[in-house]
Amino acid sequence: MKKSNYELFNNVDLGGYKLEDYQEFCNDNQIEFNENEFYDWVSEQLDIDLECFFTNLKYADKSIRDKSVLIEGTLGLWWGHPTIDAKMCDNIIDAIQLCINGNNCRINKNGNKIIIESVHHDGTNIFELTILSDLGRERFLRNGKVSTTNYANFVKLPMYLF
């Protein structure tokens, strides 16, 4: 059975970077190790990782790269978890950038959906992204909504996006 659920990106919890990684980086680059600079280094690494993630998305499978994307989800706020109105973006990069909005995030592929957990000071926003087919896009533009369970409305995600 093919694995269709996997993590695409994660910069929550220091993105997995450890103090030993920073120490190794300092040794490899002949930089004086200063434990107090670890979090600055991690922040730089996570920025580089996110930039690489978006660069890789530019080379994503052509069947999804330039298709419209439907965003649905909930906001994690101190007073509850309201559901957002569905929104359509022109492409996957714009949709992901809108969802993470500068926050730390986890981005997972789960079947034919991309799930984004955007972590902020009040909680976690959770978004489901669906790549719309041309028909799904037309239906959303006409009705302001579209069924994401009707296979004619979305594009099946390839096993690997890039």
Q: Does any domain span residue 20?
A: yes
156 confidence band (pLDDT: 50, 70, 90):
very high
> What was the pLDDT predicted at 160?
82
Model confidence at 61: pLDDT above 80: yes
Other CB atoms within 10 A of residue 133 CB:
20
3 confidence band (pLDDT: 50, 70, 90):
low
26 shares its domain with 70: no
Cα–Cα separations (whole angstroms), residue 59 to 29, 65, 96: 31, 8, 15
72 shares its domain with 147: yes
71 shares its domain with 47: no
Q: Does any domain span residue 162?
A: no
38 shares its domain with 53: yes
Q: What is the pTM of this model?
A: 0.90
| 8 A C-beta contact, residue 46 and residue 35 | no
Model confidence at 52: pLDDT above 90: yes
Per-residue tokens: 149: 């369970």
> What was the pLDDT predicted at 2?
58
38 shares its domain with 70: no
Range of the domain at 88: 63-153
Average pLDDT over residues 130-146: 96
Number of domains in the chain: 2
Residue 98 CA to residue 94 CA, distance in Å, equals 6
DSSP 105-117: EEEEEETTEEEEE
pLDDT tens-digit series, residues 19-36: 999 999 999 999 999 999
Q: Does any domain span residue 160?
A: no
Q: Does any domain span residue 161?
A: no
99 shares its domain with 47: no
Residue 56 CA to residue 50 CA, distance in Å, equals 10
50 shares its domain with 112: no
Residue 149 CA to residue 113 CA, distance in Å, equals 11
Per-residue tokens: 160: 């690997």
Other CB atoms within 10 A of residue 50 CB:
19
- In total, the chain counts a number of residues equal to 162
Q: Does any domain span residue 1?
A: no
